[in-house]
């Protein structure tokens, strides 16, 4: 028999407390019976009954597993390039704490959820570059993500289209992705100064690379802090950055992908995960394994039956 869990110090404390308190109860009962010159052996059956269902409950909580069942496990390859917009507008605070920090936290959740997938990382500004190639080392990828900052010295404007094309080229030139499902996830507020040509987006469809665009920000937008002031335009007015939803929706539509909008509750990460899981790559590994099933329910049922007997059956403690 195998156990899913083990007893903690707290569990041992309560078990010991039960034994001590019940021992004191039995001692007090026998002392009182001796004063009354009678017998108190009626407490013994109740002690064994209550000890029995307590032990059964503990066994159920420990998760007893026995009896092996053969199961087939299949590993499906899935490769995903994450494109992160690192332009100054991603410092806007209409997503808490900032747009970029919201994206970084979401990516870490995504890595934890899709633990067997490979991720690559591309940062996009006026120029785009690969920060991490496709890797299954999610801890290393998270370290890269944590170190990402917006490019404050970049004044050329964001070119998301070149980042998308870079991801497509990386997929096409990497032979290890031939048997896998390929996807691109773009995190951005949609402010773009490049030109996304339809042939390039059609190339994603031809290569079977759907793109998920994730909109970060709000329609109301937000100003962007710069030191003790805010970023201003040539006329001295405070610049207000807003979510360009229509551009991101158009990108998703032309690449036969999906548009998802970020939310404070993190629900959008689950939407991304669900969408990626629908992309089925070729089977790259299949194994038949023997697993033990958790049989806690039998012990729990037996404990409840004994508990019912304890409630229903009355045993006379003193015989007068």
- Model confidence pTM above 0.85: no
Reduce the DSSP state of residue 80 to 3 states and report it. Answer: strand
320 within a domain of the structure (yes/no): no
Q: How confident is the prediction for the chain on average, in pLDDT?
A: 85
Same domain, 251 and 214: yes
Q: How far is CA 66 from CA 7, 61, 69, 270, 297, in A?
A: 19, 15, 9, 34, 12
106 within a domain of the structure (yes/no): yes
Same domain, 54 and 136: no
- For residue 108, give the CATH number of its domain: 3.40.50.410
305 within a domain of the structure (yes/no): yes
318 within a domain of the structure (yes/no): no
- The CA distance from 249 to 260, in Å, is 9
Q: Given this model, what pLDDT does residue 200 score?
A: 82
Same domain, 247 and 297: no
**Could you tell me which residue, 225 or 153, shows the higher pLDDT?**
225
Q: How confident is the model at residue 285 (pLDDT cuts 50, 70, 90)?
A: low
> How many domains does the structure of the chain reveal?
2
Q: Given this model, what pLDDT does residue 173 score?
A: 93
Give the CA diameter of the chain. Answer: 102
Q: Given this model, what pLDDT does residue 289 score?
A: 47
Q: Which of 84, 112, 110, 109 is nearest to 98 (CA)?
A: 84
218 within a domain of the structure (yes/no): yes
Range of the domain at 87: 78-281
Neighbours of 132 (CB within 10 A): 18
Same domain, 166 and 203: yes
Same domain, 177 and 275: yes
Burial class (CB in 10 A: 0-12, 13-18, 19+), 120: buried
Encode pLDDT of 31-48 as tens digits: 887 877 777 777 777 788
319 within a domain of the structure (yes/no): no
Q: How confident is the model at residue 81 (pLDDT cuts 50, 70, 90)?
A: very high
Hey, which residues does 3 pair with through a beta bridge? 64
């Amino acid at each position: 028999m195998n156990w899913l869990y083990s007893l903690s110090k707290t569990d041992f404390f309560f078990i010991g407390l039960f034994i001590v308190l019940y021992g004191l109860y039995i001692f007090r009962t026998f002392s009182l019976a001796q004063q009354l010159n009678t017998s108190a052996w009626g407490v013994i059956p109740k002690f064994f009954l209550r000890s029995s269902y307590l032990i059964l409950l503990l066994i159920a909580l420990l998760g007893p597993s026995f009896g092996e069942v053969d199961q087939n496990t299949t590993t499906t390859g899935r490769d995903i390039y994450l494109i992160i917009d690192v332009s100054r507008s991603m410092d806007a605070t209409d997503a808490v704490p900032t747009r970029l920090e919201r994206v970084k936290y979401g990516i870490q959740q995504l890595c934890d959820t899709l633990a067997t997938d490979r991720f690559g990382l591309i940062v996009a500004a006026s120029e785009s570059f690969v920060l991490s190639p496709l890797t299954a080392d999610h801890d290393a990828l998270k370290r890269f993500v944590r170190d990402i900052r917006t490019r404050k010295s970049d004044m050329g404007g964001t070119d998301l289209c070149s980042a998308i094309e870079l991801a497509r080229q990386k997929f096409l030139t990497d032979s290890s992705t031939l048997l896998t499902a390929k996807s691109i996830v773009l995190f951005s507020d949609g402010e773009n100064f490049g030109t996304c040509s339809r042939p390039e987006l059609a190339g994603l469809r031809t290569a079977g690379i759907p793109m998920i665009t994730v909109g970060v920000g709000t329609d109301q937008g937000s100003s962007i802090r710069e030191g003790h002031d805010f970023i201003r335009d040539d006329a001295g007015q405070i610049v207000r950055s807003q979510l360009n939803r229509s551009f991101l929706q158009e990108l998703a539509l032309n690449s036969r992908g999906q548009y998802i909008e970020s939310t404070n509750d993190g629900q959008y990460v689950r939407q991304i995960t669900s969408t990626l899981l629908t992309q089925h790559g070729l089977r790259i590994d299949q194994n038949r394994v023997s697993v033990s099933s958790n049989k806690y329910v039998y012990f729990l049922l037996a404990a409840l039956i004994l508990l019912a007997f304890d409630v229903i059956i009355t045993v006379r403690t003193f015989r007068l």
